[in-house]
Amino acid sequence: MSIRHSLLSLLAEGDRHGYQLRQEFEARTGGTWPVNIGQVYTTLGRLCRDGLAEEVGKQDDGSVTYRITPAGKAEVDTWWSRPVPRAAPDRDETSIKVALALSSPGVDVLAVLETEREEILRALQAYTRAKTRIPDHPTGGELARLLVLDQQIFTAEAQARWLDHCEQRLAATTQGSAR
Amino acid sequence: MTEQTTGDLLRMTDAGRVHHAGTPTEVHALRSFSLAVAPGELVAVMGPSGSGKSTVLHLAGGLDVPTSGEVVLDGVSLGGLSVRKRAALRRRAVGYVFQDLNLVPALTAVENVMLPRELDGVPTATARAEALAALDEVDIADLGDRFPEELSGGQQQRVAIARALVGPRRLVLADEPTGALDSLAGEAVMKVLRARVDAGAAGLLVTHDAQHAAWADRVVRLRDGFVVGTTGELVHGVGEAPAGVTGRVVGGHR
């Protein structure tokens, strides 16, 4: 995930300290992806090194204020306007496990599918419960949290559908009959 | 066999359904299925076509009878009842929500909700008051005078939920109630169903959609007539899955 572009997009709204960036990032993405402050400062260091941000002052407590540069603004604009690359998706452990189960002696593929499906349903139930705790007309951070929960629900559902599909394909293949 | 030891509105014990028994075309639609649904509980049954999930719904609603085991509806065992008595119990105890074609097109929303109560023999004024209350509980009290075609798909499903739970009815059986809806309307319908269950109804939901099944307290997964897994806490002593079945694949696979 691009912490770099996320932080840069926040800097595009105005000068910030590192801890402000961390706080704002978490609040505005529904608290779903916590970042540690070390990660924030490492990223800020790289942004400065690459000429996308700069240090513009130091307060008495030693906290540094960062400002986006024109090159940084251009970089943010590009981030908003271009899709996130999907050419090389993250390795998905469930897919890998199912694929290997097919050819691993002594492993019951259907049992593997069922185990994965049970876990996904459990996660879906948890996301859904979390969703019911958000008010009907969410604002600000609540809306962000709701959208991010929706994303997790849709992703989990897609995974569950894929597992169902695997099972049906497997049944069709082993029975040798077209459905 | 008709005594009620718990408050379960639905109790299925080792229920099985065989079609064409003893012939070459014998089909075990459902095998030894046990499930209890109490007030305040929403249970989802998931599975591919032919897994037995529709059979569960038909048996639970008294539309069909098991060839083995027992189905107890609102404390009354369906097994010993005549067809007429079964129909009467069904009408008194159960409400249905289907994927579509739920409402009578020629009747307004409130008239649709009144219908089961009028069939119960309740005076019209009482039926109307109960119907309006039921519509209020699904947040569409203001739409009572509209005809189904003047309502969105999601609103129609809310009317169907209101009708399923009008008067003393407390068990709603829902068959893919969100099937024809977009994701937001589907979510709204699930929220209403969840809210009605939280207010004391009992719900049995059949769906192939994991996203909607996730609104349930428990999700039972079927394949080839067998329970292959149950997700969610077990509220009752009578287990949904026989020993050794939960989370495991048992039988039925070649």
Residue B223 in contact with residue B204, Cβ under 8 Å?
Answer: no
Give CA torsion, residues B17, B20, B26, B28, to 10 deg.
Answer: -10
Q: How many Å apart are CA B45 and CA B206, to the nearest integer?
A: 5
Give percent of chain B with pLDDT exceeding 90.
59
Q: Looking at residues A158-167, what average pLDDT do you find?
A: 90
Judged by CB atoms within 8 Å, which residues 46-105 of B form the interface with A?
A: 48
Q: Looking at residues A57-70, what average pLDDT do you find?
A: 89
User: Using CA of residue B77, residue B82, residue B85, residue B86, what is the dihedral sign?
Assistant: positive
Provide the 8-state DSSP code for A8. Answer: H
Q: How many Å apart are CA A5 and CA A123, to the nearest integer?
A: 29
Q: Out of A118, A121, A167, whose CB is closest to B213?
A: A121
Q: Mapped to the 3 state alphabet, what secondary structure does A123-156 carry? A: HHHHHHHHHHCCCCCCCHHHHHHHHHHHHHHHHH
Q: For residue B221, what is the enclosing H or E element? A: strand B218-223
User: Given pLDDT bands bounded at 50, 70 and 90, which one contains residue B242?
Assistant: very low
Q: Looking at residues A133-149, what average pLDDT do you find?
A: 87
Closest C-alpha to B163, from B117, B204, B106, B203: B117
- Whether A178 has a pLDDT exceeding 80, the answer reads no
Q: Which residues make Cβ contacts (< 8 Å) with residue A128, sequence separation at least 6? A: A153, B214, B215
Output the pLDDT for position A176: 57
A90: left (phi over 0), alpha (psi -120 to 50) or beta: beta
Output the pLDDT for position B251: 34
Strands B218-223 and A53-58: unpaired
User: Given pLDDT bands bounded at 50, 70 and 90, which one contains residue B246?
Assistant: very low
Q: How many Å apart are CA A86 and CA A22, to the nearest integer?
A: 26
Q: Does the beta carbon of B210 lie under 8 angstroms from any beta carbon of chain A?
A: yes
Question: Strands, E, within chain A: which ranges?
Answer: 16-17, 53-58, 64-68
Count, residues in chain B = 254
Output the pLDDT for position B233: 60
CATH topology of domain A3-81: Arc Repressor Mutant, subunit A (1.10.10)
Residue extents of the structural domains in chain A: 3-81, 93-175
Output the pLDDT for position B241: 37
**Over the stretch B22-66, which tens digit does the pLDDT of each residue have?**
888 888 999 999 999 999 999 999 988 888 999 999 999 988 899
Q: Sketch out chain B's domains with CATH numbers.
A: 10-231 (3.40.50.300)
- Whether A147 has a pLDDT exceeding 70, the answer reads yes
User: Given pLDDT bands bounded at 50, 70 and 90, which one contains residue A92?
Assistant: confident
**What does pLDDT average to over chain A?**
87
A interface toward B at CB cutoff 8 Å?
Answer: 108, 110-111, 114-115, 117-118, 120-122, 124-125, 127-128, 132, 153-154, 156-157, 160-161, 164, 167-168, 171, 174-175
- Whether B78 has a pLDDT exceeding 70, the answer reads yes
**Over the stretch A97-133, which tens digit does the pLDDT of each residue have?**
888 888 888 888 888 898 899 999 999 999 998 888 8
Residue B35 in contact with residue B12, Cβ under 8 Å?
Answer: yes
**Over the stretch B186-237, which tens digit does the pLDDT of each residue have?**
998 999 999 999 999 999 999 988 999 999 999 999 988 989 888 886 443 3
Q: What residues of chain B lie within 8 A of the CB of A164, using their CB?
A: 48, 208
Which chain B residue has the Cα nearest residue A173?
B254
Give percent of chain B with pLDDT exceeding 70.
89
Token pair of A105, please? 């002696």
Output the pLDDT for position A170: 87
Contact B231 A125 (CB under 8 A): yes
Output the pLDDT for position A173: 83
Which chain B residue has the Cα nearest residue A132?
B191
Output the pLDDT for position B151: 94
Output the pLDDT for position B239: 37
Output the pLDDT for position B180: 79
Q: Does the beta carbon of B182 lie under 8 angstroms from any beta carbon of chain A?
A: no
Judged by CB atoms within 8 Å, which residues 28-47 of B form the interface with A?
A: none
- Cα radius of gyration rounded to whole Å, chain B: 18
Closest C-alpha to B192, from B162, B231, B166, B230: B162
- Whether A88 has a pLDDT exceeding 70, the answer reads no
Burial of B29 (0-12, 13-18, 19+ CB in 10 A): buried
Output the pLDDT for position A95: 85
